[in-house]
Amino acid sequence: MVRIGGFLPLSLCDYPERVAAVVFTRGCNFRCPFCHNGHLLTNEAADDLFADDVLARLSELAVRLQGVVITGGEPTLQPRLADFLGRIRELGLAIKLDTNGSRPDVLAALLEARLLDFIAMDIKAPWERYPVLAGTACDVAALQRSVALIAGSGLPHQFRTTRVEPLLSQADCEAIRRQLPAGSPHVFQTFRPENALDPRLRKD
């Protein structure tokens, strides 16, 4: 099953217009310097949660919840993500996926299986600056394919960018908006520096 590094039983802000639980998967293929979930980047830890235990808790909470947010880390790195989502679907809960868009084939398979109800994709930077903001080399073509899949999915979706002012200029922000499909929602998120992966970005 999936590696789970955290679980929030109730959230009013992570799934638009729904009361949701949040499941944090472990492991990520990016190393964004502004990441505030650095503790989830490694593949495993002693305090990981068992997927069956999380599913049991979701079953208990299902009467109070309207959805589940799967975030990370990067959820699409989990080999058995589809199985996990299928079991959530059996509970009658809507599923929102947060992703960095680096694995469009996984995204396409989840869409084909109708395992998603809402998708949020982080857009880190203008395409030409992606390696700087993602902290690693990036397959931009894969990211662009994910954008196209999400925009064409017919599902509620959102593209979002963390506005890290030391790293993104106003011109960068304008370029980000231009590279996204017309009609797709996009928001800028506030940068929270306290737990940034790169200590140089943290406030003193």
pLDDT tens for each residue of 166-195: 899 999 999 999 999 999 999 999 998 888
Three-class SS of residue 94? strand
Cβ proximity of 180 and 160 under 8 Å: no
Looking at the chain, the whole-number percentage of residues with pLDDT higher than 90 is 88
What CA–CA distance (Å, rounded) separates 96 from 184? 16
Q: What token pair was written down for 100?
A: 């960095």
What is the band of 45 on the pLDDT scale with cuts at 50, 70, 90? Answer: confident
Query: How many domains in the chain?
Result: 1
> Per residue in 131-172, pLDDT tens?
999 999 999 999 999 999 999 999 999 999 999 988 999 999
What is the band of 39 on the pLDDT scale with cuts at 50, 70, 90? Answer: confident
Range of the domain at 29: 4-201
What pLDDT score was predicted for residue 204?
57
What is the band of 203 on the pLDDT scale with cuts at 50, 70, 90? Answer: confident
Three-class SS of residue 158? strand
What is the band of 30 on the pLDDT scale with cuts at 50, 70, 90? Answer: very high
**What CATH number is attached to the domain comprising 19?**
3.20.20.70
Q: Name which of 157, 67, 150 is nearest 106 in CA terms.
A: 150
